Amino acid sequence: MPVSEPPVGMPPCPEPRTELVVTDSPTPEDIAVISGALDRFNIERTGIDDRTPLAVLIRDPETHQVIGGLTGRTSLGLFFVDLFFLPPGLRGSGLGGEILRQAEKEARARGCRAAVLYTITFQAPCFYRKQGWRLLGEVPCDPPGAGRIFMTKELAAETGSI
C-alpha cells in the first residue's frame, strides 16, 4: 500500500489547500496575523491574556531620538528580552545595568517570576552574568567559534530595607 493511502477503514484526509511562501520580507501585517493567532491560541489554552510589550529607551537629550535601549515583552509569567543595545560611548557607565534593573522591576510588577534572553558570545554574556543571569545553554553559530547563549534569571520579589 502506498504511503499516501489511509489505513483500511479510515476515510482519506483532505489535502490542505494552502500556498507556502518563503520570504525575507514579511510585512508587518503578515507578522501581526501570526502573532495574533498564536496569542489567541495561548489565551484559549491558558485563560490568561497578559502579553504586553516592555521597553526601556535611551533618548538623545537634544534630539529626543531613541539611540538605544531594551525591548521585550512579558507573557505567562515570563519576561523576554528581545533586543538590547547600548551605544559604545555609554558602555561601562552603569547605564546598561540600570536599564536591565528597570526592565526587571517592571516585569516583576507585571507578575513575572523569571526572565529569558539570548545573546551571542561576542556580544554581552559577561555583562548579563554580572547582573545575576545564568546560562541555560549554548548553540554554535557563525562565525565559526561563536555561539548563541541562552540565559535566564529568577525574578523573585526584591527585598530591601524599609
CA distances from 115 to 14, 80, 137, 138 (A): 42, 6, 14, 17
75 in Cβ contact with 52 (< 8 Å)? yes
Q: What pLDDT, on a 0 to 100 scale, did the predictor assign at position 18?
A: 87
Q: What pLDDT, on a 0 to 100 scale, did the predictor assign at position 161?
A: 42
Mean predicted lDDT score pLDDT of the chain? 92
CA distances from 120 to 54, 128, 145, 148 (A): 22, 11, 11, 4
| pLDDT at position 159 over 70 | no
Alpha helices in the chain (DSSP H): 28-46, 95-109, 125-130
86 in Cβ contact with 78 (< 8 Å)? no
Q: What pLDDT, on a 0 to 100 scale, did the predictor assign at position 10?
A: 75
Going by pLDDT thresholds of 50, 70 and 90, the confidence category of residue 5 is low
- Edge-to-edge, what's the strand order for the sheet holding 146-154? 52-59, 66-75, 78-85, 114-120, 146-154, 134-141
The rounded distance, in Å, linking the Cα atoms of 107 and 92 is 24
Residue 66 β-bridge partners: 59
| pLDDT at position 53 over 80 | yes
pLDDT tens column, 103-121:
999 999 999 999 999 999 9
| pLDDT at position 3 over 70 | no
